[in-house]
Structure 1
Protein backbone atom coordinates (compact mmCIF):
# COMPACT_ATOMS: atom_id res chain seq x y z
CA UNK A 1 0.00 0.00 0.00
CA UNK A 2 2.86 2.40 0.80
CA UNK A 3 4.38 1.76 -2.60
CA UNK A 4 1.07 2.65 -4.28
CA UNK A 5 0.80 5.90 -2.28
CA UNK A 6 4.42 6.81 -3.09
CA UNK A 7 3.88 6.21 -6.80
CA UNK A 8 0.65 8.23 -6.72
CA UNK A 9 2.38 11.16 -5.01
CA UNK A 10 5.24 11.12 -7.52
CA UNK A 11 2.74 11.03 -10.38
CA UNK A 12 0.82 13.99 -8.90
CA UNK A 13 4.04 15.99 -8.48
CA UNK A 14 4.99 15.40 -12.13
CA UNK A 15 1.45 16.17 -13.30
CA UNK A 16 1.47 19.47 -11.40
CA UNK A 17 4.87 20.45 -12.81
CA UNK A 18 3.81 19.71 -16.37
CA UNK A 19 0.37 21.29 -16.02
CA UNK A 20 1.89 24.71 -15.25
CA UNK A 21 1.70 27.12 -18.11
CA UNK A 22 3.00 30.59 -18.83
CA UNK A 23 -0.27 32.48 -18.39
CA UNK A 24 -0.49 34.80 -15.41
CA UNK A 25 1.33 37.84 -14.08
CA UNK A 26 5.13 38.00 -14.04
CA UNK A 27 7.63 40.38 -12.45
CA UNK A 28 10.40 41.65 -14.70
CA UNK A 29 13.63 42.28 -12.83
CA UNK A 30 16.69 44.31 -13.82
CA UNK A 31 19.50 41.76 -13.78
CA UNK A 32 22.17 44.22 -12.63
CA UNK A 33 20.35 46.07 -9.84
CA UNK A 34 17.76 43.44 -8.85
CA UNK A 35 15.02 46.11 -9.02
CA UNK A 36 11.56 44.93 -10.10
CA UNK A 37 10.81 46.98 -13.20
CA UNK A 38 7.28 45.94 -14.16
CA UNK A 39 4.43 43.47 -13.98
CA UNK A 40 3.53 41.77 -17.28
CA UNK A 41 0.41 39.69 -17.81
CA UNK A 42 0.75 36.79 -20.24
CA UNK A 43 -2.54 35.64 -21.70
CA UNK A 44 -3.87 33.39 -24.46
CA UNK A 45 -6.09 34.62 -27.27
CA UNK A 46 -7.16 32.54 -30.26
CA UNK A 47 -4.50 29.92 -29.57
CA UNK A 48 -1.61 32.40 -29.40
CA UNK A 49 0.07 34.01 -26.41
CA UNK A 50 0.58 37.69 -25.67
CA UNK A 51 2.14 39.78 -22.90
CA UNK A 52 0.84 43.14 -21.73
CA UNK A 53 2.54 45.54 -19.31
CA UNK A 54 0.19 45.99 -16.36
CA UNK A 55 2.34 48.28 -14.24
CA UNK A 56 5.72 49.98 -14.51
CA UNK A 57 7.43 49.83 -11.11
CA UNK A 58 10.87 51.17 -12.00
CA UNK A 59 11.53 54.04 -9.55
CA UNK A 60 13.59 55.80 -12.24
CA UNK A 61 10.62 55.85 -14.67
CA UNK A 62 8.45 58.95 -15.02
CA UNK A 63 4.90 58.93 -13.59
CA UNK A 64 3.41 58.00 -16.96
CA UNK A 65 6.20 56.26 -18.87
CA UNK A 66 5.83 56.45 -22.65
CA UNK A 67 7.41 54.37 -25.38
CA UNK A 68 9.41 57.36 -26.63
CA UNK A 69 11.83 55.23 -28.69
CA UNK A 70 9.09 53.25 -30.44
CA UNK A 71 8.20 53.89 -34.09
CA UNK A 72 4.91 54.39 -35.90
CA UNK A 73 1.66 53.89 -34.00
CA UNK A 74 3.52 52.96 -30.81
CA UNK A 75 5.49 56.23 -30.61
CA UNK A 76 4.75 57.96 -27.26
CA UNK A 77 2.10 55.38 -26.30
CA UNK A 78 1.92 54.72 -22.53
CA UNK A 79 3.95 51.64 -21.63
CA UNK A 80 1.31 50.55 -19.11
CA UNK A 81 -1.24 48.64 -21.19
CA UNK A 82 1.21 48.11 -24.06
CA UNK A 83 1.29 44.60 -25.54
CA UNK A 84 5.00 43.78 -25.71
CA UNK A 85 4.80 40.04 -26.52
CA UNK A 86 2.89 39.07 -29.65
CA UNK A 87 1.79 35.91 -31.47
CA UNK A 88 3.70 33.22 -29.56
CA UNK A 89 2.73 29.66 -30.44
CA UNK A 90 3.10 26.73 -28.07
CA UNK A 91 5.46 24.06 -29.41
CA UNK A 92 5.90 21.40 -26.75
CA UNK A 93 7.33 23.14 -23.68
CA UNK A 94 8.49 26.21 -25.64
CA UNK A 95 6.45 29.17 -26.87
CA UNK A 96 7.95 30.68 -30.02
CA UNK A 97 7.44 32.24 -33.47
CA UNK A 98 6.42 35.54 -31.92
CA UNK A 99 8.01 38.87 -31.08
CA UNK A 100 8.92 40.84 -27.99
CA UNK A 101 9.15 44.63 -27.86
CA UNK A 102 11.73 46.31 -25.64
CA UNK A 103 10.02 49.58 -24.62
CA UNK A 104 13.34 51.05 -23.50
CA UNK A 105 14.85 51.06 -26.99
CA UNK A 106 11.67 50.68 -29.06
CA UNK A 107 12.96 47.62 -30.93
CA UNK A 108 11.16 44.33 -31.58
CA UNK A 109 12.95 41.01 -31.51
CA UNK A 110 12.04 37.45 -32.36
CA UNK A 111 11.01 35.77 -29.14
CA UNK A 112 10.70 32.46 -27.43
CA UNK A 113 9.84 31.73 -23.83
CA UNK A 114 9.70 28.68 -21.61
CA UNK A 115 9.30 27.75 -17.97
CA UNK A 116 12.46 26.96 -16.05
CA UNK A 117 12.64 23.16 -15.76
CA UNK A 118 13.64 23.27 -12.09
CA UNK A 119 11.20 26.00 -11.04
CA UNK A 120 7.94 26.63 -12.97
CA UNK A 121 7.63 30.01 -11.21
CA UNK A 122 10.55 31.29 -13.31
CA UNK A 123 9.93 32.23 -16.93
CA UNK A 124 12.81 32.39 -19.38
CA UNK A 125 12.20 35.15 -21.94
CA UNK A 126 14.59 35.26 -24.89
CA UNK A 127 14.73 37.98 -27.52
CA UNK A 128 17.03 37.41 -30.46
CA UNK A 129 18.21 38.49 -33.89
CA UNK A 130 19.82 35.69 -35.90
CA UNK A 131 22.27 34.05 -33.50
CA UNK A 132 22.54 36.98 -31.06
CA UNK A 133 20.21 36.77 -28.07
CA UNK A 134 19.53 37.91 -24.54
CA UNK A 135 17.55 35.91 -22.01
CA UNK A 136 15.80 37.41 -18.99
CA UNK A 137 14.30 35.54 -16.06
CA UNK A 138 10.84 36.70 -14.99
CA UNK A 139 9.28 35.67 -11.68
CA UNK A 140 5.67 34.52 -11.33
CA UNK A 141 3.64 36.93 -9.21
CA UNK A 142 1.54 34.97 -6.72
Structure 2
Protein backbone atom coordinates (compact mmCIF):
# COMPACT_ATOMS: atom_id res chain seq x y z
CA UNK A 1 0.00 0.00 0.00
CA UNK A 2 2.80 2.46 0.86
CA UNK A 3 4.53 1.63 -2.40
CA UNK A 4 1.35 2.43 -4.39
CA UNK A 5 0.91 5.77 -2.59
CA UNK A 6 4.54 6.66 -3.23
CA UNK A 7 4.24 5.80 -6.93
CA UNK A 8 1.02 7.83 -7.21
CA UNK A 9 2.68 10.84 -5.55
CA UNK A 10 5.67 10.63 -7.91
CA UNK A 11 3.32 10.39 -10.90
CA UNK A 12 1.36 13.48 -9.79
CA UNK A 13 4.61 15.41 -9.28
CA UNK A 14 5.96 14.48 -12.72
CA UNK A 15 2.67 15.31 -14.47
CA UNK A 16 2.55 18.64 -12.62
CA UNK A 17 6.03 19.58 -13.82
CA UNK A 18 5.16 18.84 -17.45
CA UNK A 19 1.79 20.61 -17.33
CA UNK A 20 3.12 23.73 -15.59
CA UNK A 21 3.24 26.80 -17.77
CA UNK A 22 6.64 27.83 -19.01
CA UNK A 23 7.81 31.05 -17.30
CA UNK A 24 7.90 32.92 -20.63
CA UNK A 25 4.15 32.46 -21.01
CA UNK A 26 1.89 35.23 -19.84
CA UNK A 27 1.55 38.98 -20.23
CA UNK A 28 4.48 41.29 -20.89
CA UNK A 29 5.02 44.97 -21.62
CA UNK A 30 7.69 45.86 -24.19
CA UNK A 31 9.74 48.89 -23.21
CA UNK A 32 11.56 51.44 -25.38
CA UNK A 33 15.32 50.98 -24.97
CA UNK A 34 16.04 54.72 -24.87
CA UNK A 35 13.15 56.19 -22.88
CA UNK A 36 12.11 53.26 -20.70
CA UNK A 37 8.48 53.96 -21.63
CA UNK A 38 6.05 51.16 -22.52
CA UNK A 39 5.52 50.57 -26.25
CA UNK A 40 3.12 47.62 -26.41
CA UNK A 41 1.41 44.92 -24.38
CA UNK A 42 1.98 41.30 -25.39
CA UNK A 43 0.58 37.87 -24.64
CA UNK A 44 3.13 35.07 -25.00
CA UNK A 45 1.59 31.60 -25.29
CA UNK A 46 2.17 28.05 -26.50
CA UNK A 47 0.17 26.29 -29.17
CA UNK A 48 1.02 22.91 -30.67
CA UNK A 49 4.42 22.85 -28.95
CA UNK A 50 5.44 26.20 -30.48
CA UNK A 51 5.69 29.62 -28.85
CA UNK A 52 3.77 32.65 -30.13
CA UNK A 53 3.37 36.25 -29.11
CA UNK A 54 0.58 38.61 -30.05
CA UNK A 55 0.14 42.29 -29.36
CA UNK A 56 -2.92 43.14 -27.26
CA UNK A 57 -2.30 46.86 -26.87
CA UNK A 58 -0.10 49.45 -28.61
CA UNK A 59 0.87 52.84 -27.21
CA UNK A 60 0.04 55.75 -29.52
CA UNK A 61 -2.03 53.85 -32.10
CA UNK A 62 -5.79 53.40 -32.50
CA UNK A 63 -7.14 49.92 -31.70
CA UNK A 64 -7.93 49.13 -35.34
CA UNK A 65 -4.56 50.08 -36.89
CA UNK A 66 -3.45 47.75 -39.69
CA UNK A 67 0.07 46.43 -40.29
CA UNK A 68 0.24 48.23 -43.64
CA UNK A 69 4.04 48.52 -43.65
CA UNK A 70 4.36 44.73 -43.68
CA UNK A 71 4.75 42.58 -46.77
CA UNK A 72 1.81 40.58 -48.08
CA UNK A 73 3.35 37.37 -46.73
CA UNK A 74 6.23 35.94 -44.71
CA UNK A 75 7.50 32.34 -44.61
CA UNK A 76 5.58 30.25 -42.05
CA UNK A 77 3.44 33.18 -40.87
CA UNK A 78 0.76 31.57 -38.67
CA UNK A 79 -2.25 33.55 -39.91
CA UNK A 80 -3.78 33.16 -43.38
CA UNK A 81 -4.37 36.20 -45.55
CA UNK A 82 -2.37 39.24 -46.51
CA UNK A 83 -0.20 40.23 -43.56
CA UNK A 84 -0.23 43.90 -44.56
CA UNK A 85 -4.02 43.93 -44.12
CA UNK A 86 -4.03 42.31 -40.67
CA UNK A 87 -4.65 44.31 -37.51
CA UNK A 88 -1.60 44.99 -35.35
CA UNK A 89 -3.57 43.97 -32.26
CA UNK A 90 -4.40 40.31 -31.91
CA UNK A 91 -1.99 39.07 -34.59
CA UNK A 92 0.86 36.72 -33.57
CA UNK A 93 3.95 38.69 -34.62
CA UNK A 94 6.20 36.26 -32.74
CA UNK A 95 5.85 32.73 -34.10
CA UNK A 96 7.33 29.28 -34.48
CA UNK A 97 9.77 29.22 -31.55
CA UNK A 98 10.64 25.84 -30.03
CA UNK A 99 11.77 25.17 -26.49
CA UNK A 100 15.49 24.74 -25.89
CA UNK A 101 14.83 24.28 -22.17
CA UNK A 102 12.21 25.72 -19.81
CA UNK A 103 12.39 29.50 -20.02
CA UNK A 104 14.45 29.50 -23.22
CA UNK A 105 13.02 29.38 -26.77
CA UNK A 106 14.54 29.86 -30.24
CA UNK A 107 14.21 28.91 -33.90
CA UNK A 108 11.28 31.15 -34.73
CA UNK A 109 10.67 34.61 -36.05
CA UNK A 110 9.39 38.02 -35.07
CA UNK A 111 7.91 40.54 -37.49
CA UNK A 112 8.03 44.20 -36.50
CA UNK A 113 4.58 45.43 -37.61
CA UNK A 114 5.79 49.04 -37.51
CA UNK A 115 8.49 48.48 -40.17
CA UNK A 116 7.58 45.15 -41.75
CA UNK A 117 11.04 43.73 -41.01
CA UNK A 118 11.35 40.06 -40.05
CA UNK A 119 14.02 38.73 -37.70
CA UNK A 120 15.11 35.42 -36.24
CA UNK A 121 13.87 35.36 -32.66
CA UNK A 122 15.06 34.03 -29.30
CA UNK A 123 13.25 34.50 -26.01
CA UNK A 124 14.75 33.95 -22.57
CA UNK A 125 13.08 34.34 -19.18
CA UNK A 126 15.15 36.22 -16.59
CA UNK A 127 13.86 35.72 -13.04
CA UNK A 128 13.88 38.69 -10.70
CA UNK A 129 17.09 38.52 -8.67
CA UNK A 130 16.98 41.92 -6.96
CA UNK A 131 20.20 42.90 -8.71
CA UNK A 132 20.34 43.03 -12.51
CA UNK A 133 16.68 42.03 -12.86
CA UNK A 134 14.49 43.90 -10.37
CA UNK A 135 11.35 42.20 -11.73
CA UNK A 136 10.71 39.10 -13.83
CA UNK A 137 12.01 40.03 -17.28
CA UNK A 138 11.71 38.59 -20.75
CA UNK A 139 14.68 39.02 -23.06
CA UNK A 140 13.35 39.12 -26.60
CA UNK A 141 16.23 39.03 -29.09
CA UNK A 142 15.80 39.71 -32.79
CA UNK A 143 18.66 38.83 -35.14
CA UNK A 144 19.36 39.32 -38.84
CA UNK A 145 21.97 36.55 -38.88
CA UNK A 146 25.39 35.58 -37.55
CA UNK A 147 24.35 36.71 -34.07
CA UNK A 148 23.89 40.31 -35.24
CA UNK A 149 20.85 41.84 -33.62
CA UNK A 150 19.61 43.39 -30.43
CA UNK A 151 17.71 42.46 -27.32
CA UNK A 152 14.71 44.14 -25.77
CA UNK A 153 13.91 43.58 -22.12
CA UNK A 154 10.21 43.31 -21.35
CA UNK A 155 8.67 43.38 -17.89
CA UNK A 156 6.10 40.96 -16.50
CA UNK A 157 2.61 42.40 -16.48
CA UNK A 158 -1.09 41.60 -16.14
CA UNK A 159 -3.76 41.07 -18.77
CA UNK A 160 -5.52 44.29 -17.74
CA UNK A 161 -2.35 46.39 -18.02
CA UNK A 162 -1.39 44.83 -21.36
CA UNK A 163 -4.80 45.39 -22.91
CA UNK A 164 -4.80 48.96 -21.57
CA UNK A 165 -1.72 50.06 -23.51
CA UNK A 166 -2.85 53.02 -25.61
Please say whether Structure 1 and Structure 2 have the same fold, judged by a TM-score greater than 0.5: yes
Q: Which runs of 5+ in 2 are unaligned?
A: 1-20, 73-81, 159-166
> In the alignment, which residue of structure 1 is the partner of 2:49?
47
Q: How high is the TM-score relative to the length of structure 2? A: 0.68
Instruction: Classify 1:137/1:52 alpha carbon distance in 2 versus 1 (closer, same or farther; 3 Å).
Output: same
Q: Which runs of 5+ in 1 are unaligned?
A: 1-18
One of 83, 103, 110 as aligned partner of 1:100: 110
| 2:149 counterpart of 1:133 | yes
Please list, as runs of the form range in 1=range in 2, the aligned pairs for 1:65-84 lying within 5 A after superposition.
65-72=65-72, 73-84=82-93
Please list, as runs of the form range in 1=range in 2, the aligned pairs for 1:85-124 lying within 5 A after superposition.
85-92=94-101, 93-117=103-127, 118=129, 119=133, 121-124=136-139
| CA–CA distance in structure 2, aligned partners of residues 67 and 27 of structure 1 | 19
One of 24, 30, 33 as aligned partner of 2:32: 30
Q: How many residues align?
A: 123
Runs of 4+ in structure 1 over 2 Å off: 61-65, 117-120
Q: How high is the TM-score relative to the length of structure 1? A: 0.78
| CA–CA distance in structure 2, aligned partners of residues 63 and 83 of structure 1 | 16
- Structure whose residues are more often strand by fraction: 1
| CA–CA distance in structure 2, aligned partners of residues 128 and 20 of structure 1 | 23
* Offset of residue 76 of structure 1: 3.1
**Would you say the 8 A contact 2:28–2:157 is kept in 1?**
yes
Q: Deviations over 1:72-97 (max 9, x none)?
A: 11113210011111011111242000
